Amino acid sequence: MNTKGEAHASLFYCECVARVIFNLFPNWFLGSAVKFLTTLAFILFFSSHCLAIQTIEVKDRHTNQNISHVLEYLPAAESLRWPWEVANRPGWQTSLGDFPAFGLDPGFYWFRVAIHNRSGEQQLVMLDVQHALLDQLDVFLLKHGRIQRVWNTGLDRGVGAKPYPAKTFVLPLSLDVADGYDIYFRAKSDAFMQMPVLLQDIRIHANHQALGKLQMGLMSGAFLLVGLYALLMYGFIRERRFLYYALFSLSLVVTTWILKGYATLYDIFPDWFDTQQLLVVVGNLLLAGLILSTLDMFRIWLPKKLRLICRLLMLAVGVVATSAWFIPLWWSIYATFAGYVATTLLAVLFCFYFLHRGSWLQRLYCYAWLGFMLGCLALFASRFNWLHEEWISEYLLSLFSSMAAFLLCFSLAYRTYIEKKGRMRAKRQASEGLKRYFELYHSANEGLFTSTLEGQLLAANPAFCRMFGYDDIQTMATTVGRTTHALYVNGKDRDDLLARLFTSAKEGIRSDVEMRHHDGSTFWARISLRISRRQGKNRSMLLEGILVDITESKQYQAKLEFLANHDEATGLHNRRYLIQSLEDLFKRRNSAPGTDYLCFIDIDHFKVINEGGGHLAGDEFLRQIATHISNLKKENFLLTRLSGDEFAVIMENSYIDEVIQYVERWRKAIQELKFVWNGKIYSVTASLGVVPIQTGCNDASALMALADAACSTAKRQGRNRIHVYSDLSPEMKLYQEEVAWVARIHQALEERRFELARQLIVPANGLTGQGAKYEILLRLRAEDGTLIRPAQFIGAAERFGLMPQIDLWVLDTLLKWFAANPQELAALDMVSVNLSGESIGTPKMHRKIRRLLEGAEFPWDRLCFEITESQAIANIEATRAFIDTFKGLGCAFALDDFGSGFSSYGHLKELPIDLLKIDGQFVRHLDTSETDRAIVNSMAELARAVGVKTVAEFVENEDIAAKLAAMGVDYLQGYAIHEPSLLSEPIHKQERPDNWS
């Protein structure tokens, strides 16, 4: 057989030769003869080449061959409609292989092939054009150059135009013995153009068609059943994954039917059912179902970004599927191809993600999904003519689509199985929980019951029966009767509870009620009620409740309330109750004026009884005092105990003369009381302060402060006396000044207006080789900028408990100053800091001071705490504990104002101090008083005897300094040595005379 290229070249050479001959012979005769001979030769040559079409020989009756590889094709214009119009045209080419594909080309193509029957008998064969989606197909059968038959078919011409009812375009051919036939095909497709052609014996063709229908039927039936089952399950349980899987399964069936051509077998479908737009749409729906099913399956394990990519891709697929009906077909095909490429990349991402993180099911599903997408891409590649081995794409797509559908179904079933197991487990747990509920119901200590709204008891647990003294519910129901009102001490309580329950916006209510025991005794119970409904037809309302015996709790609460308002030792009302009573009195006096007074009673020297007889003796003495005062007061007087040795009395509706009379009785009764304990007789007195409760007064704390001030005034005036508050008295003015100082001190602390000063302490012998020693002094910067000395405000600070705050501020500020000025720390030998008695006597302050020292980088052995002698003896045990604690850390201690107490020399022996600071009252007049010189000399000798260094304060001239040095006093401090200066200022020492040492 001649090839297509040889035929075209021969025709071209023949034409060239003819033109040359015509030009060389202009003579008409010679020209005519030559022209005739040339034309005859050309016709014979052309006929031989026209007949040189690729030929297929049929040699037996079992013909079954793919003749695509011998097809010749020619792209041609739409106007060329007949074989003789294209037969002699140049450009015919041999087919591309067994599955010729031309990509996305909407133009017309001509194909031709020759068939020769050499089997020795007539053959009935089927010519199968296996591209089911050709829009137009015109087939011409030629025998000996003449058209024997023409078939006009294709999707555009409907199912009825098919020559033979098959999924593709099948042409029945009857081949005579030893005859040859030329077949021309004119084909067009708006989408992908393919032209695979099979030549089969009719029996073989029938068998293949039957087998294909069987396979397609089995596959379609299986996926249709599964898809319809998934739809049915979605209708029952409304789980989205069933809907997604149904979409995937049904789209897979429809896509396969259209792609394989089975949709064109039946004319019962609408005309649009076999259009290629529908193929694009359902193909995208197939992809959407796959993505949605995967998202639903992996939504717990997928990261957020990957889920977002899936949703965006899903949106793009939906847009393409919707717009496929409205845009040109090739645009939708390109968009669909892009979606499949993106989905394939997403499948690769899934595979990488679940390679190490997912379970075996997830990995297997991802691999099947990836294979399915690769099969789809292989199908696209073959249609675009990028991949010639079409069987790879066809088989990959069929294999992996089935596998993906199977694994989707398997994952769906597996997940349903897991959920069923979960429901079974939940049911089992509910059953066990119900069992435990009944066990708890019968063994609970709380009473559980159910009754009707009218009060008939329907059910109750054993604890409920025991609360009321019954053995079981039957006995209780019989005894109580048809209503539970009898269980309440006040039967109206139940009606009130029901009314609250129906009017409350909450589901249940709780209340404390008093209940009646079977033997007639009562107890308190906390009842919780709620309304429920019976199941079944009779959905009447029931009352469910829980009862808890709170008798002990009520008793304990009553005891707590009593203790909250009463003093435990005396049984009198306490300070809290006094304040509440005063506030109630203020409110009453706003509407009903009256004359009232408040009296404070402070027992003088009560500590003597506590120290002599112990706290038991002190409590007994206080009880006797309370009894005496109670017996000597009016009924409308309220007697309270404020603290250890303080009492207060509210005297309502009393005049001043009557008040003085009663207060004097109380003073005499306390003075005349002889308290005997362990054979010892104790006698005490009392200081009493009285303050009128004026109209418009509404501050209980301020009123009590005035009464306390009046009481303190009585103490300062000599004790065992009465003082009535008056705004004109000097004592009250002093008290008011102290109260004003309290506010100023608080404001100064807040505004950081306190400042530190220092005064040098120098050796009396004149040696200067040691480092600096000085005492820290406190100054207050006034609002006008002047400095205020402590003497003006320390008294108020001590009286109103502000000294601990000031002490902490001083110590904290000093340590921070040394940290900011390391040169000062390097030149320091000792710094003295005064501490108040309240700071020394409070363990809480001990801890705070220690935390300050531990948090600062300061050498503790250079720190000396000064303790006033009067403060030290006030609480000698606490002082000793404080000294022992901080002395163990390396700190030094000085006993300040030594000699001012009653027993100074005894305290020097008891307290482990390092320095003794002689009180300035003995130093100030040392140059003129022989007595002071003798006292100071004895103190110096005593200090040397016990190994304690001495410091003389208030050294105000050179003569005093010289005499102190002669007595052997170790250190000097005073204005003659150094006038105090602020820490921020440099130290300027006074010049020292030569006669000091």
Q: Which residue has the tokens 């789809």?
A: 376
Question: How far, in Å, CA of 487 to CA of 491, rounded?
Answer: 8
Tokens of 189: 């497709």
Q: Are 453 and 498 in contact (CB under 8 A)?
A: yes
Element (H, E) at 94: strand 93-94
Q: Are 230 and 408 in contact (CB under 8 A)?
A: no
C-alpha dihedral sign at 189, 191, 192, 196:
negative
For the chain, report the end-to-end CA distance as a whole number of angstroms: 147
CATH number belonging to domain 742-991: 3.20.20.450
Nearest Cα residue to 881 out of 836, 831, 843, 925: 843
Q: Are 452 and 542 in contact (CB under 8 A)?
A: yes
459 forms bridges with which residues in the sheet?
450
Question: How far, in Å, CA of 836 to CA of 978, rounded?
Answer: 24
Query: What is residue 985's DSSP assignment?
Result: S
pLDDT surpasses 80 at 141: yes
Query: What is the band of 268 on the pLDDT scale with cuts at 50, 70, 90?
Result: low
pLDDT surpasses 60 at 996: no
- Amino acid letter at 767? L
Query: How many residues are listed for the chain in this entry?
Result: 997
Tokens of 685: 């007195």
Question: How far, in Å, CA of 274 to CA of 372, rounded?
Answer: 24
Nearest Cα residue to 390 out of 36, 699, 66, 137: 66
Q: Are 630 and 622 in contact (CB under 8 A)?
A: no
Q: What local confidence, expressed as pLDDT, does residue 989 receive? A: 57
What are 677-714's pLDDT values in tens digits?
Answer: 888 888 889 999 999 988 777 788 888 888 888 888 88
- Amino acid letter at 385? N
Element (H, E) at 828: strand 828-835
Q: Are 874 and 837 in contact (CB under 8 A)?
A: yes
Rounded to an integer, the average pLDDT of 844-870 is 89
Q: What local confidence, expressed as pLDDT, does residue 482 receive? A: 66
Question: How far, in Å, CA of 725 to CA of 719, rounded?
Answer: 16
Question: How far, in Å, CA of 22 to CA of 35, rounded?
Answer: 7
Question: How far, in Å, CA of 60 to CA of 201, rounded?
Answer: 9
Q: What local confidence, expressed as pLDDT, does residue 756 receive? A: 93
Q: Are 934 and 916 in contact (CB under 8 A)?
A: no
Element (H, E) at 835: strand 828-835
Q: What local confidence, expressed as pLDDT, does residue 25 receive? A: 47
> Residues 6 or more apart from 21 whose CB is under 8 A from it?
34, 35, 38
Query: What is the band of 597 on the pLDDT scale with cuts at 50, 70, 90?
Result: very high
Query: What is the band of 397 on the pLDDT scale with cuts at 50, 70, 90?
Result: low
Query: What is residue 790's DSSP assignment?
Result: G
Nearest Cα residue to 119 out of 187, 175, 191: 175
Rounded to an integer, the average pLDDT of 144-164 is 86
Query: What is the band of 778 on the pLDDT scale with cuts at 50, 70, 90?
Result: very high
- Decide yes or no: CATH 3.30.450.20 for domain 448-556: yes
215: left (phi over 0), alpha (psi -120 to 50) or beta: alpha
Nearest Cα residue to 261 out of 445, 77, 374, 394: 394
Element (H, E) at 580: helix 575-591
566-569 contacts at long range (C-beta below 8 A, 24 or more positions apart): 567/640, 567/641, 569/619, 569/622, 569/623, 569/641
Q: Are 333 and 383 in contact (CB under 8 A)?
A: no
Task: Kindly report the average pLDDT of the chain as a whole number.
Answer: 81
Q: What local confidence, expressed as pLDDT, does residue 894 receive? A: 92
Nearest Cα residue to 328 out of 104, 133, 102: 104
Q: What local confidence, expressed as pLDDT, does residue 864 receive? A: 95
What's the predicted TM-score (pTM) here?
0.43
Q: What local confidence, expressed as pLDDT, does residue 11 receive? A: 40
Question: How far, in Å, CA of 778 to CA of 810, rounded?
Answer: 8
Domain 568-725 is classified in which CATH homologous superfamily?
Answer: Reverse transcriptase/Diguanylate cyclase domain (3.30.70.270)
Rounded to an integer, the average pLDDT of 913-920 is 89
pLDDT surpasses 80 at 537: no
241 versus 754: which is more confidently predicted?
754
Question: How far, in Å, CA of 100 to CA of 118, rounded?
Answer: 27
DSSP E strands in 130-257: the ranges are 136-143, 146-153, 169-175, 180-188, 192-194, 197-201
Distances (CA, A) of 262 to 152, 215, 268, 476, 762: 20, 12, 12, 82, 120
Sheet-wide strand order for 169-175: 64-66, 197-201, 123-129, 169-175
Q: What local confidence, expressed as pLDDT, does residue 51 receive? A: 44
Q: How crowded is residue 165: how many other Cβ atoms within 10 Å of its Cβ?
A: 13
Domain chopping of the chain, boundaries: 1-52, 55-210, 227-410, 448-556, 568-725, 742-991
CATH number belonging to domain 55-210: 2.60.40.2380
Q: What local confidence, expressed as pLDDT, does residue 22 receive? A: 47
What are 780-821's pLDDT values in tens digits?
Answer: 988 888 888 888 888 878 877 788 999 999 999 999 999 999
Query: Angle, to 10 degrees, between the axis of helix 304-323 and the axis of helix 276-298?
Result: 160
% the chain with pLDDT above 70 = 87
Q: What local confidence, expressed as pLDDT, does residue 991 receive? A: 47
Q: How would DSSP label each residue in 918-972?
A: E-HHHHTTTTT-HHHHHHHHHHHHHHHHHT-EEEE----SHHHHHHHHHHT--EE
Q: What local confidence, expressed as pLDDT, does residue 859 receive? A: 92
367 versus 199: which is more confidently predicted?
199
Nearest Cα residue to 996 out of 767, 816, 819: 767
Query: What is residue 165's DSSP assignment?
Result: -
Q: What local confidence, expressed as pLDDT, does residue 110 receive? A: 93
Q: How crowded is residue 545: how many other Cβ atoms within 10 Å of its Cβ?
A: 21
Q: What local confidence, expressed as pLDDT, does residue 291 receive? A: 81
Query: What is the band of 421 on the pLDDT scale with cuts at 50, 70, 90?
Result: confident
Tokens of 388: 């010639």
Please classify residue 540 by burial: count the beta carbons closer than 10 Å to its beta carbon, then call 0-12 exposed, 13-18 middle and 19+ buried: exposed
Q: How crowded is residue 926: how many other Cβ atoms within 10 Å of its Cβ?
A: 26
Query: What is residue 78's DSSP assignment?
Result: T
Q: What local confidence, expressed as pLDDT, does residue 44 receive? A: 45
Query: What is residue 987's DSSP assignment?
Result: P
Rounded to an integer, the average pLDDT of 854-873 is 85
533 forms bridges with which residues in the sheet?
541
Helix, strand, coil share of the chain (percent; to 5): 55, 20, 25
What are 271-328's pLDDT values in tens digits?
Answer: 655 567 778 888 888 888 878 877 777 776 778 888 888 888 888 888 888 887 777 8
Question: How far, in Å, CA of 652 to CA of 636, rounded?
Answer: 6
Q: How would DSSP label each residue in 591-653?
A: HS---EEEEEEEEETHHHHHHHH-HHHHHHHHHHHHHHHHHTS-TTEEEEE-SSSEEEEEE-S
Query: What is the band of 395 on the pLDDT scale with cuts at 50, 70, 90?
Result: low
Tokens of 227: 């898809």
Rounded to an integer, the average pLDDT of 67-85 is 89
pLDDT surpasses 80 at 901: no
